[in-house]
Amino acid sequence: MFEIIKKLIKSMMRQIKNNNGNSLAEFAVTTAMMATLATTAAPKFGSVGDGAKQKKTMNNIDKILTVANNYYNQAVSEEGKGRFPGQSKYDAEVGGVTLATGQTTDAALETYVEDVLSTIGTYEDDNSDFVYVFSPAVDDEDALQGDWMSFAGQTHQVDVLFDTDGADDFKKNFGNSGIKSPFQDGAYIYLVIPGSGSGTSAQAPVIIVADVENPSELHKTLTP
């Protein structure tokens, strides 16, 4: 669309140059049209940019979930029960979501997504249920240089917590590296709702991965 506007503007300028008899009124009309085109296109360019960033971050979240799923399946093979990065066992939480007495994992997931996650719209909201995917500590140099943590200006977003074991597990499975969010204030965060029950009624843990830029919209869940 930007190229079309450029061509229109060039065409208008040629018309002005080629028609020396143009009145001041005609010149004013042409200028007004150019200004209207510019102001109309600006928000559209911004939405195109945001859309590309949203697509990029959702693709990155898919990559994180793929690693988490592989990690889970490896634990099933080696330990008999699956667990996600940061979990010591299948019924341990990562982050701040625990199970109420008698509550099942799927019920806890539904409640959290509908009642809590839906209200977390920016990095400035309360993200204290989450931990960083790739950042094991606030002063980790690799995480700081790689921009794997969210900052509001120059201040760390303290509402996102840390799980050293989980971050180290993820970094190891990403070749001792991490992924940077395409958003200026974004970063990848996750939590694990514990597995529940036993025997035939057992439910696997669930992982939620989000971009702290807007967790309510930029997130995905994985239930093995």
Domains contained in the chain, number = 1
Give the Cα separation of 204 and 55 in Å (integer). 29
The answer to whether residue 23 sits within a structural domain is: no
**Per-block mean pLDDT, blocks of 10 residues, the chain (224 long):** 52 56 55 57 57 97 98 97 97 97 97 98 95 96 94 78 97 96 96 94 97 98 96
C-alpha angle with apex 206: 202 to 212, nearest 5 degrees?
165
The pLDDT of residue 47 is: 52
Q: Is residue 14 part of a domain?
A: no
Contact 77, 71 (CB under 8 A): no
31 falls within a domain = no
Give a yes or no: residue 109 inside a domain: yes
Say what the pTM is.
0.79
Question: Is 202 part of a structural domain of the chain?
Answer: yes
In a domain, 107, yes or no: yes
pLDDT of residue 49: 75
- What one-character-per-residue DSSP string does the chain give? -HHHHHHHHHHHHHHHHH-TT--HHHHHHHHHHHHHHHHHHHHHHHHHHHHHHHHHHHHHHHHHHHHHHHHHHHHHHHHSS---TT-SSTT--BSS--PPTT--HHHHHHHHHHHTGGG--STTS--TT-EESS-SSTT-HHHHHHT-S-EETTEE-TTSB--HHHHHHHHHHTTS-----SSTT--EEEEEEPPB--GGG-B--EEEEEETT-TTTSEEEE--
In a domain, 29, yes or no: no
- Cβ–Cβ under 8 Å, residues 224 and 63: no
What is the reported pLDDT for 109?
A: 98
Place of tokens 């199970």: 99
Q: Which residue segment(s) compose the domain that 184 sits in? A: 47-222
* Residue 4 belongs to a domain: no
